[in-house]
Amino acid sequence: MGALLLRRLVSLMPLLLLVSFGVYLLVALVPGDASVTLAGGESATPERIAAVKSQLHLDDPLVEQYGRWLGDAVQGDLGSSLFTHVPVTDDIADRVPITVGLVLASLVVGLVLGIPIGVLSALRPGRAVDGAARVGTSVALAIPNYWLAIELVVLFAVTWKLLPPSGYVKITEDPVEWLRHIALPAVALGVWSAASLARQLRASLIDALDSRYVRTAWAKGSSTKRVVLKHAMKNAAIPVVTVLGLQVGFLLGGTVIIEQIFSIPGLGPYFIRGVTALDVPVIQGVAIVFVLFTVVLSLLVDISYGLLDPRVRVE
Amino acid sequence: MTGIDAAATDSDFASPAAVDALAEIAGRSRVRGSLRRALARPSAWIALGFLALVLACALFGHVIEPYPPNAIDVLNRNATPSSSHWLGTDDLGRDILSRIIAGAAIAVRVSVQSVGIAFVIAVPIGLVSAYVGGWVDNVVMRFVDAALSFPALVLALAVAGVLGPSLGHAAIAISITMLPGFVRLVRGSALAVKHETYVEASRSIGVSTRGILLRRILPNIRSPLIIAGSLALGGALLAEAGLSFLGLSVQPPEASWGSMLRHAYDVSLFTFPWQLLIPGAAIALTILAINTVGDGLRDAFSPADTSGRRRRGGGTRTKHRRGLTTVATPVPETTTPAVAGTTALLEVNGLTVQFEGPSGPVTVVDDVSFSVDAHEVLGLVGESGSGKTVTSLAIMRLLDSPPARIVGGSVRFGQRDLLRADFKEMRRLRGGSMAMVFQDPMSSLNPAFTVQDQLAEAYRLHRHVDRRAARTRALEMLDLVQMPAAAQRLTDYPHELSGGMRQRVMLAMALICEPELLIADEPTTALDVTVQAQILDLLRTLQRELGLAIMFVTHDLGVVADLCDRVAVMYAGQLVEQASVHDLFTSPRHPYTEGLLRAVPQASEAREDALYVIDGVVPTAATMPTGCRFHPRCEYAVDACIDDAVVLRETDSGVSRCIRTDELTFGRLR
């Protein structure tokens, strides 16, 4: 397992190099004279333009700029914000735990809702439960999470006043308050993930229940519970884990808007502020962190394959 | 498709026109049939209707809009829905309905634009990558992998932000996020058809690469592309609304659904929250409609996957239990007399099994009776489709209900009628006193558990022993089935074993609780010839040592002669002959048995004449002939065979379902 992990990590290096170059290239997309645009447009003072130019080394060739940026990034230096001059790495380090907490909480919502729905509809395909699940998941997959978030605020915070409409409390300060603040955003993000999990689980569980090894399990004299939860489930879990891995990527993207709506001080609002202000080091820094997350996650998914599917472990 | 493939193989690829025609038919017939299927469901029609409405709003918005969408009316602010403002007005008195209609144009434009841009770029890259292969493909796929590791929304935000907020930039940003997925899809689909007959044929007659890509491959991968494209429209709409919500797409005062939502959120969240409902619902409903149409298309293009749609159980409201074949109650009495005496271990009497088909129930096993004595080996023989496997699964009640249903007969095992047993009773018997091994040991063993897990489980389901005792027993069984290096095999997974070893594990698992009866359903068919012989030897040894009764299901009469005491022959769901092995081989009493015997290769036959083949195939429910079911393939058939169904009649050696059994002398020699 250790060797597998190492090999996978090494094979990720070229990918990360390519991605980081892509991230860096965002500077090249800036319209007009980058230093002028980034300094705030035509009204920018010549001193400001010069400062931006020297901070980003915009006079150097692109490859050289990238090389310097990458060298610094590897050492944990993603540059400083063009406006606040706070090191991007510091800002990100403060915000990562908050965003990760939200993603995990949404995943929990997704699993807690998605697994029972998936199992129930797989056990009664074509019946009422399955039909209801089908309609429910279709609707859940069509609702934009930011709209759901707003409607949840309208109901739970504005109308019923059960939960706070926005804001954030650190879990280390007050776990209960953290939960109260994270509940609505986690549900807003997690409902979608529950729907897609339920669908995937339904499909793969139906396949597994149709399989010959399940027939063997019946032929041995297994109980229904044993057949479904042991024999079928372990095999059905494999494609579900793939979906789970992909989902975390989507959830990470989703946190950007959701954190903005709920004023959660995670990476989302920081990124949006960076994007609207064209604060290039911030945009690059957050983008590369998001990519790192996705890559590490797909690695975790690969590892869990090995735990679930012995065929992968050997290869 | 198979017909077309066959046609393409048979023709000599004489003319380019012929190849063209074939490729055309292959593509077109699929698309037409699929569209018909996609629209079979009312939900698809409703969704299409809704999308047509959205499209109409987008195209003729300026005609339909009751008010100019940006017209401010300060006297009419935050009006509730009324006859003059159907959906009310916003905080500036702008008519919400008009703004929703105006927003439809933005939604349609940006979706079509971004999916279009992504397709125009992705299709050539994907096609070339698949067709050229090699390093080109490698490089393309590395870029695709890299791009796919960006969360899509983050990438879209970054690009849209850097380019500057506008609708056009939003469309570009969205299409960039869709690009890698499309490239991968086009490449994957193209790879799948690259080696199809019509593509190879085109290449062999000298069609240019460009011609092959555009006129052979592209038309044949259109179904996945249509599906992905239609679903991507929803994704694009969602992304645009997200970008507008964040102020990175259209700029105020222009109305888009996302920006309306944002505006209402900013100014009316605590005061007029219903204003948030309308733009959100517009986005959600449109995406729901797109997904419904897209899912419909996907289901229609892959008719194999109908698991969810199947209306199970037909008109009957029978309650089915998973893992136990349903028996129609009350089981009707059957007319066939019991064949064997009352001493039999297993006595199957008039067993009739139906499958729920699209046009009503189909009888696949019809009034089958036979028996297996203790310590006896019965061969159940027939071609594929004769119903022998269904019969053996029905005895264990392992057929899935739905679609299977046992509608008649009795299955007595010891003192019990298995067709009256409940699930609990069947559970005790299965793997206990009656066990089964299946045809394909790879798919029949659970890939996710070790040999030891699966063996010990089989033991502990019936014996109250601890793990260690179960492990010892598992090892003992592996030794019994002559597993090489048995102790090391315990921790192996099925995929680490050879085919023969897997079947030994299946046997060990079946025999671990010392059953009285073993039902072996073609246990050697999936194995190599040499391994087959070893497994048969093993079965013979075990049968003698353990005093097992075996019901051996096979299509191979050579194996039957080797192993069995008595033989029952099945054809088209019916029993056609039953006799002792000796009688059956020396003087078969049914033309089908004779045909099977003549089809067995003989070691003594050094002659050059081809092996005998019974003409034709086993009929299906749709092609079931009248009268004797075998008559269309029978060389002895007379007019009387065509008219009336033939009943089993006693012969001096057993039973036979042939009206001419007494007058004809069948022989195995030609």
Residues B614-639: b if buried by 16+ CB within 10 A, e if exposed: beeebbebeeeeebbbbbbbbebbee
Nearest chain B CA: its distance from A277 CA (Å): 8
Give the largest CA-CA distance in chain A: 83
Q: What angle do CA A226, B311, B299 make, to 5 degrees?
A: 95
The model's pLDDT over B377-420, given as tens digits with 9 standing for 90+, comes to 999 998 888 888 999 999 999 998 878 888 888 888 888 888 88
Q: Does B144 touch chain A (CB under 8 A)?
A: no
Structure-token pair, residue B522: 């073609």
Question: Which sign, positive or negative, has the C-alpha torsion B513, B514, B519, B522?
Answer: positive
Q: Evaluate if residue B332 carries a pLDDT over 60.
A: no
Residue pair A201/A111 in contact (Cβ under 8 Å)? The answer is: no
pLDDT at B6: 34
B456, burial (CB in 10 Å: exposed 0-12, middle 13-18, buried 19+): buried
Question: Which sign, positive or negative, has the C-alpha torsion B641, B643, B645, B650?
Answer: negative
* Residues with Cβ within 8 Å of residue B331, at least 6 apart in sequence: B406, B407, B408, B409, B410, B419, B420
Q: Evaluate if residue B608 carries a pLDDT over 80.
A: no
Which residues from A are below 8 Å from B162, CB to CB?
26-27, 29-30, 275, 278, 280, 283
Q: Grade residue A205 by pLDDT with cuts at 50, 70 and 90.
A: very high
Chain A, 114 to 133: residues with Cβ < 8 Å from chain B are 123, 125-127, 130
Residue of B564, B117, B147, B623 whose CA lies nearest to B373: B564
pLDDT at B36: 67
Inter-chain touch B447–A311, beta carbons under 8 Å: yes
Q: What angle do CA B168, B171, B175 make, to 5 degrees?
A: 145
Best residue in A16, A42, A121, A215 for a mutation probing chain B (most B CBs within 10 Å): A215
Chain B, 253 to 292: residues with Cβ < 8 Å from chain A are 261, 265, 269-270, 273, 276-277, 280, 283-285, 287-288, 291-292
For residue B69, the one-letter residue type is P
The pTM (predicted TM-score) of the whole model is 0.82
| B649-650 vs B655-656, strand pairing mode | antiparallel
Inter-chain touch A210–B446, beta carbons under 8 Å: no
Q: How many CA atoms lie within 13 A of B151 on its CB side?
A: 28
Which residues from B are below 8 Å from A228, CB to CB?
322
Provide mean pLDDT across the span A210-214. Answer: 91
pLDDT at B306: 42
Q: Does B599 touch chain A (CB under 8 A)?
A: no
How many Å apart are CA B554 and CA B550, to the nearest integer?
Answer: 12
Query: Residue B419 in 3-state DSSP?
Result: helix
How many Å apart are CA B661 and CA B670, to the nearest integer?
Answer: 18
Nearest chain B CA: its distance from A45 CA (Å): 21
How many Å apart are CA B69 and CA B61, to the nearest integer?
Answer: 10
How many Å apart are CA A200 and CA B131, to the nearest integer?
Answer: 32
Structure-token pair, residue A228: 């479904």
The model's pLDDT over B349-377, given as tens digits with 9 standing for 90+, comes to 889 998 888 778 888 888 899 989 988 99
Inter-chain touch A147–B506, beta carbons under 8 Å: no
Give a three-class secondary structure readout of chain A. CHHHHHHHHHHHHHHHHHHHHHHHHHHHHCCCCHHHHHHCCCCCCHHHHHHHHHHHCCCCCHHHHHHHHHHHHHCCCCCECCCCCCEHHHHHHHHHHHHHHHHHHHHHHHHHHHHHHHHHHHHCCCCHHHHHHHHHHHHHHHCCHHHHHHHHHHHHHHHCCCCCCCCCCCCCCCHHHHHHHHHHHHHHHHHHHHHHHHHHHHHHHHHHHCCHHHHHHHHHCCCHHHHHHHHHHHHHHHHHHHHHHHHHHHHHHHHHHHHHHHCCCCHHHHHHHHHHHCCHHHHHHHHHHHHHHHHHHHHHHHHHHHHHCHHHHHC
CB nearest A256 (choices: B154, B280, B427): B154
CB nearest B432 (choices: A29, A221, A295): A221
Chain A, 266 to 285: residues with Cβ < 8 Å from chain B are 271-272, 274-276, 278, 280, 283
Query: Residue B567 in 3-state DSSP?
Result: strand
Q: Grade residue B526 by pLDDT with cuts at 50, 70 and 90.
A: confident
Q: Grade residue B1 by pLDDT with cuts at 50, 70 and 90.
A: very low
Look-up: residue for tokens 């955003």? A185
Between residues A242 and B232, which one has the greater pLDDT?
B232
How many Å apart are CA B295 and CA B303, to the nearest integer?
Answer: 12
User: Which chain B residue lies closest to A245 (C-alpha atoms)?
Assistant: B149
CATH class of the domain whose range is A88-314: mainly alpha
Q: Grade residue B609 by pLDDT with cuts at 50, 70 and 90.
A: low
Q: Evaluate if residue B126 carries a pLDDT over 50.
A: yes
Query: Residue B417 in 3-state DSSP?
Result: strand
Extents of the domains making up chain A: 32-77, 88-314
Q: Evaluate if residue A283 carries a pLDDT over 60.
A: yes
Q: In what order do the strands lie in the sheet with B549-554?
A: B434-437, B517-521, B549-554, B377-381, B566-571, B574-580, B655-656, B649-650
Query: Residue B554 in 3-state DSSP?
Result: strand
Q: Grade residue B317 by pLDDT with cuts at 50, 70 and 90.
A: low
Which residues from A are below 8 Å from B444, CB to CB?
212-213, 215-216
Provide mean pLDDT across the span B480-494. Answer: 89
Question: Which sign, positive or negative, has the C-alpha torsion B239, B244, B247, B250?
Answer: positive
Provide mean pLDDT across the span A226-252. Answer: 86
Chain B, 400 to 419: residues with Cβ < 8 Å from chain A are 400
Which residues from B are below 8 Å from A298, CB to CB?
149
Nearest chain B CA: its distance from A219 CA (Å): 5
What does each C-alpha distance from B281 to B18, B153, B202, B260 come to in angstroms? Answer: 52, 21, 50, 12
Residue of B370, B381, B372 whose CA lies nearest to B339: B370
Span of A199-213, A300-314, B257-271, B283-297 with lowest mean pLDDT:
A300-314
Residue pair A88/A80 in contact (Cβ under 8 Å)? The answer is: yes
Residue pair B515/B548 in contact (Cβ under 8 Å)? The answer is: yes
Q: What is the mean pLDDT of chain B?
A: 82
Which residues from B are below 8 Å from A249, CB to CB?
149, 151
Structure-token pair, residue B320: 């089915």
Inter-chain touch B398–A314, beta carbons under 8 Å: no
Q: Does B314 touch chain A (CB under 8 A)?
A: no
What does each C-alpha distance from B511 to B411, B451, B478, B507 come to in angstroms? Answer: 22, 14, 10, 6
Q: Is B245 left (phi over 0), alpha (psi -120 to 50) or beta?
A: alpha
Chain B, 525 to 544: residues with Cβ < 8 Å from chain A are none
Q: Evaluate if residue B653 carries a pLDDT over 70.
A: yes
Nearest chain B CA: its distance from A23 CA (Å): 9
Nearest chain B CA: its distance from A80 CA (Å): 18
Residue pair A221/B429 in contact (Cβ under 8 Å)? The answer is: yes
pLDDT at B18: 47
DSSP run (H or E) holding B574: strand B574-580
How many Å apart are CA A280 and CA A300, to the nearest integer?
Answer: 30
What does each C-alpha distance from A22 to B45, B143, B411 come to in angstroms? Answer: 43, 10, 70
Residue pair A267/A257 in contact (Cβ under 8 Å)? The answer is: no
Nearest chain A CA: its distance from B177 CA (Å): 12
Q: Evaluate if residue A127 carries a pLDDT over 60.
A: yes
Q: How many CB pairs under 8 A join A and B?
A: 223
DSSP run (H or E) holding B230: helix B222-245
Give strand pairing partners of B416: B413
What does each C-alpha distance from B394 to A121, B102, B411, B444, B481 come to in angstroms? Answer: 26, 63, 9, 17, 27
Inter-chain touch B161–A235, beta carbons under 8 Å: no
- The answer to whether the bond into B402 is cis (omega within 30° of 0) is yes
Give strand pairing partners of B361: B356
How many Å apart are CA B555 and CA B551, to the nearest integer?
Answer: 13
Count CB atoms within 10 A of the CB of residue A34.
Answer: 19
Inter-chain touch A26–B159, beta carbons under 8 Å: yes
How many Å apart are CA B203 and CA B191, to the nearest integer?
Answer: 15
Q: Does B134 touch chain A (CB under 8 A)?
A: no
Q: Does B443 touch chain A (CB under 8 A)?
A: yes
Inter-chain touch A18–B142, beta carbons under 8 Å: yes
Which residues from A are below 8 Å from B170, CB to CB?
none
Residue pair B418/B411 in contact (Cβ under 8 Å)? The answer is: yes
Provide mean pLDDT across the span A167-183. Answer: 91
Inter-chain touch A261–B493, beta carbons under 8 Å: no
State ipTM.
0.88
Q: Is B514 left (phi over 0), alpha (psi -120 to 50) or beta?
A: left
Q: Evaluate if residue B319 carries a pLDDT over 80.
A: no
User: Which chain B residue lies closest to A31 (C-alpha atoms)?
Assistant: B163
DSSP run (H or E) holding B357: strand B346-357
| DSSP summary character for residue B308 | T
Which residues from A are below 8 Å from B245, CB to CB?
146, 257
Q: Grade residue A148 by pLDDT with cuts at 50, 70 and 90.
A: very high
Q: Does A206 touch chain B (CB under 8 A)?
A: yes
Best residue in A192, A199, A212, A220 for a mutation probing chain B (most B CBs within 10 Å): A220
Residue pair B268/B3 in contact (Cβ under 8 Å)? The answer is: no
Structure-token pair, residue B628: 């004797």
How many Å apart are CA B24 and CA B13, to the nearest integer?
Answer: 15
Q: Does B509 touch chain A (CB under 8 A)?
A: yes
Provide mean pLDDT across the span B171-190. Answer: 91
Which residues from B are below 8 Å from A275, CB to CB?
157-158, 160-162, 248
The model's pLDDT over A261-282, given as tens digits with 9 standing for 90+, comes to 999 999 999 999 998 888 889 9
Residue pair B175/B111 in contact (Cβ under 8 Å)? The answer is: no
C-alpha B549, offset from chain centre:
35
User: Which chain B residue lies closest to A18 (C-alpha atoms)?
Assistant: B146
Which residues from B are below 8 Å from A218, CB to CB?
323, 398, 430
User: Which chain A residue lies closest to B292 (C-alpha atoms)?
Assistant: A138
The model's pLDDT over A52-83, given as tens digits with 9 standing for 90+, comes to 888 888 888 888 888 888 888 888 888 888 88
Q: Does A176 touch chain B (CB under 8 A)?
A: no
Residue pair B633/B615 in contact (Cβ under 8 Å)? The answer is: yes
How many Å apart are CA B246 and CA B346, to the nearest integer?
Answer: 74
* Residues with Cβ within 8 Å of residue B639, at least 6 apart in sequence: none
